[in-house]
């Protein structure tokens, strides 16, 4: 089934596994050269585009070198709002270096794109309901997910280090109004569709992307069962 998908990501984050990328250059003799460069999250977005169905329409967020803080509202509307308005699913590439600690959240691309994705928007050509949102967690430069996800064998659950995420992401996780949960070692263990923004490992997503995208849409269709946080603080 064709989907309109918007991808939100930190273009230049290089805290991801190396994909052996090269760039073409020219040496002093005018000869073409191939120079190794750091792998970026944008390279994983390229792989994501290859994984999704051919009929899916993919729209991308941040471009290299752009800063949301430097854009006027009219430019933001032209560059992003139309893309998100036309989409039904927003994929957020959750990477180790996606949060810029030197900028407030409202001046960074990903939080703004999530906030707008969660809104019901009315425009001249119609209205758009809130998007389904799926977080895809990328491994770090050591090819590990432990920077964010750690498995607890005793409780048979995965712990999420949500404190390192953007606030708008963590506010929309574990936010089901009446979740199914138990207590293990003094902590709450959730099961079922407990987050409006579910998080899935990149390696797991690749095994069955349609399942996870359909699941995010299923959650979107039950949005009233969640305490959804839209605004940026």
- Residue that has been written with the tokens 């949500």 in this structure: 162
Query: How far is residue 116's CA from residue 90's CA, in Å, rounded to a whole number?
Result: 10
Query: How far is residue 185's CA from residue 29's CA, in Å, rounded to a whole number?
Result: 66
**pLDDT value of position 157:** 94
Closest of 116, 112, 115, 109 to residue 86, by C-alpha: 116
**pLDDT value of position 62:** 57
**pLDDT value of position 216:** 96
Domain boundaries defined on the chain? 4-225
Closest of 169, 190, 173 to residue 181, by C-alpha: 190
Cite the DSSP H helix spans in the chain: 41-51, 73-76, 82-86, 109-117, 167-171, 202-207, 209-220
> Tens digits of per-residue pLDDT, 114-124?
999 998 876 55
Query: How far is residue 143's CA from residue 148's CA, in Å, rounded to a whole number?
Result: 12
C-alpha distances (whole Å) from 117 to each of 27, 83, 192, 197 are 45, 10, 23, 12
Closest of 145, 87, 148, 138 to residue 114, by C-alpha: 87
pLDDT values of the chain reduced to their tens digit, one per residue, 233 residues: 678 899 999 988 999 999 887 777 666 676 677 778 889 999 999 899 888 876 666 776 655 555 555 555 556 656 677 788 888 999 999 999 999 999 889 888 899 899 999 988 765 566 678 999 999 999 999 999 999 999 999 999 999 999 999 999 999 999 999 999 999 999 999 999 999 999 999 999 999 999 999 999 999 999 999 999 998 87
Closest of 74, 140, 79, 136 to residue 113, by C-alpha: 79
**pLDDT value of position 184:** 96
Pairing verdict, β 89-94 and 121-123:
unpaired
Q: Which residues of 138-152 are buried (b: 16+ CB within 10 A; e: fewer)?
A: bbbeeeebebbbeee
């Amino acid at each position: 089934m064709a989907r309109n998908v918007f991808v939100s990501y930190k273009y230049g984050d290089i805290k991801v596994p190396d994909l052996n990328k090269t760039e073409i250059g020219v040496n002093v003799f005018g000869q073409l050269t191939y120079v190794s460069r750091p792998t970026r999250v944008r390279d994983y977005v390229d792989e994501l585009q290859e994984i999704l169905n051919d009929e899916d329409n993919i729209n991308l967020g941040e471009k290299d070198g752009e800063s949301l803080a430097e854009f006027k509202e009219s430019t933001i509307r032209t560059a992003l709002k139309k893309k998100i308005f036309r989409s039904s699913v927003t994929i957020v590439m959750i990477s180790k270096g996606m949060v810029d600690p030197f900028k407030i959240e409202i001046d960074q691309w990903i939080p703004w794109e999530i906030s707008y994705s969660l809104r019901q928007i009315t425009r001249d050509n119609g209205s758009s309901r809130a998007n389904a949102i799926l977080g895809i967690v990328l491994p770090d430069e050591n090819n590990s997910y432990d920077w964010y996800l750690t498995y607890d064998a005793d409780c048979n659950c995965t712990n999420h280090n949500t404190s390192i995420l953007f606030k708008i992401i963590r506010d929309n996780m574990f936010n089901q109004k009446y979740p199914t949960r138990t207590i293990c070692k003094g902590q709450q263990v959730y099961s079922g569709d407990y987050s409006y923004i579910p998080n899935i490992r990149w390696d797991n997503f690749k095994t069955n992307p349609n399942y996870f995208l359909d699941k995010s849409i299923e959650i979107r269709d039950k949005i009233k069962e969640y305490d959804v946080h839209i605004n940026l603080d």
